[in-house]
Structure 1
Amino acid sequence: MLNSVDFINRLKQLMDYHQFSASSFAEKVGVQRSSISHILSGRNKPSLDFILKINSVFEDLDLDWLLNGDGNYPKKKNLASAPILNKSSIHSSTKEIQRIVTFYTDGTFEEFIK
């Protein structure tokens, strides 16, 4: 069963992460502003249509995270679909890595500079 309070908190996290106000979020998802307001206030529970609209708009959304709090937001990309580079293809390029920046879900990051 969906815990409304937890769902509302995760919805707010999603909106904060993308820096959406309730109005801009409603416009992005394609629902009325009042629908967002009623859900955020706890007056109404989210409909399946509402949840599916959110899921279709945000590719980085793990639906299981939104509904149950399981998983992460944003969801980690599937590295299995990334192209596989072999050693010779990496070293044959004239390009060199200058720095690598890793961003974490808590807002922190690490930077590795060559």
Structure 2
Amino acid sequence: MVNGSDFTKRLEKILEYYSLTAAAFAEEIDFNRSTISHLLSGRNKPSLEFIMKLYQKFPEVDMDWLLFGKGNFPSTSDNNLDKAPKEKSVIRKEPTMDLFSKENISEIPNAVHANKNQKQIEKIIIFYVDGSFNVYQN
């Protein structure tokens, strides 16, 4: 569970690190100013949409640190990063396999089929940047 007052302190640290006002931060992540104000005052807890937008614009922010206080910000590996927000970079995706197609079952390694006592996947949920999601259920 996200602790509101601790979350507020971590959010303030992000604003300070990037030298952003609450209004500039709201504009940067394309979010409502009043929502940012409510988060900073501790009135509201962060929504999934807020977290996703923050992470999309500032991928160097460790979500475990932001939500639960585990880890550091900025992390030691991020010390070489410029303090300015990164522009979106092109992510090259490897070709994907349709996991739900019966035709591709033979392509899955035999080791996966060997143990009948393995846990079975019940549901896969994919969250999209725009806040929508798809649920795939067996």
Paired residue total = 80
TM-score (norm 1): 0.65
Query: Which runs of structure 1 show a deviation greater than 4 angstroms over 4 or more consecutive aligned residues?
Result: none
Looking at structure 1, the residues matched to 76 and 52 of structure 2 have their Cα atoms a distance apart, in angstroms, of 20
* 2:13 partner amino acid: Q
- Residue 63 of structure 2 aligns to which amino acid in structure 1? L
Residues 12-62 of structure 1 deviation map (CA, whole Å, 9 limit, x = unaligned)? 000000000000000001101111001111221110110111111112211
Matches within 5 A, 1:15-94: 15-77=15-77
User: Which residue type is aligned with residue 31 of structure 2?
Assistant: V
Q: For residue 91 of structure 1, what is the aligned residue in structure 2? A: none
Deviation, 1:77, is: 2.9
Q: Greater CA deviation, 12-21 or 37-46? A: 37-46
Tell me, in whole angstroms, the C-alpha distance in 2 between the residues paired with 1:44 and 1:4.
Answer: 7
Q: What is the Cα-based RMSD across aligned positions, in Å?
A: 1.8
Letter in 1 for 2:9: N
Larger helix proportion of the pair: 1
Stretches of structure 1 lacking an aligned partner (at least 5 in a row) = 79-101, 104-114
Q: Deviations over 1:52-96 (max 9, x none)?
A: 111111122111000111111112338xxxxxxxxxxxxxxxxxx
Residue identity over aligned pairs, in percent, reads: 47
Query: Is the partner of 1:2 in helix, strand or coil?
Result: coil
Unaligned runs of 5+ in 2: 81-138
TM-score under structure 2 length normalisation? 0.54
